[in-house]
């Protein structure tokens, strides 16, 4: 999709942004500059597959119960400012959690992502080429958090990873969609 968008941009025909939303099978990903010292296992004998990606950021885990979103946006049509873009992604998550679940999430100075207290509930890792964004964010909804114990998530040693499921507790669950797609 990114290559097609670049080709359209070259011809002046790029008119629409896209959002890919999905869940990954269990996998660890490392950003372009990630250090393998943040893996608490031998990469050759990992509990799940390990992939080095083109995104920024350190190592993280993706798996079932985690909403992963890949916005493919031409920032020339919005604002050509990566700091603005990262803060905008955080703001969308913060507002969605507040509006849908009354969860008070926030940013922490110097740390990209979305937090509830000292728990990171959403990680962000982007890539931008010729002002076209790809990669994106991962929101822990009902994710099994155990695989995070085998890494130093996002290279942050003194904070925990959380999930919406844990925050809401057994009596409040995320609403189920009335529509099922197959």
> Active-site residue 106, yes or no?
no
Of 93, 121, 154, 161, the active-site residue reads: 154
Q: Determine contact, residues 74/17, Cβ cutoff 8 Å.
A: yes
What are the binding residues for substrate? 55-62, 123-125, 136-138
Q: Determine contact, residues 57/31, Cβ cutoff 8 Å.
A: yes
CA angle 75, 23, 85 (to 5 degrees): 20
Q: Which pair of tokens denotes residue 2?
A: 């990114």
Helix (H) or strand (E) run with residue 40 in it: none
Return d(Cα 81, Cα 15) in angstroms, integer.
19
For residue 146, the 8-state DSSP code is G
Catalytic residues: 154
């Amino acid at each position: 999709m990114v290559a097609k968008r670049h080709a359209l941009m070259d011809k002046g025909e790029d008119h629409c942004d896209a959002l890919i939303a999905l869940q990954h099978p269990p996998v660890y990903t490392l950003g372009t500059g990630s250090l393998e010292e943040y893996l608490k296992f031998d990469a050759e004998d990992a509990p799940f597959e390990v992939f080095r990606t083109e995104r920024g950021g350190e190592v993280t885990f993706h798996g079932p119960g985690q909403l992963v979103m890949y916005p493919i946006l031409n920032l020339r049509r919005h604002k050509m400012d990566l700091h603005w873009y990262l803060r905008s992604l955080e703001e969308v998550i913060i507002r969605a959690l507040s509006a849908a679940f009354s969860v008070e999430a926030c940013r922490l100075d110097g740390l990209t992502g979305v937090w509830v207290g000292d728990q990171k509930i959403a990680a962000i890792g982007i890539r931008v080429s010729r002002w076209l964004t790809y990669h994106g964010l991962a929101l822990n909804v009902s994710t099994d958090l155990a695989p995070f114990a085998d890494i130093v998530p996002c290279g942050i040693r003194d904070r925990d990873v959380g999930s919406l499921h844990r925050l809401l507790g057994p009596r409040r669950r995320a609403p189920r969609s009335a529509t099922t797609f197959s």
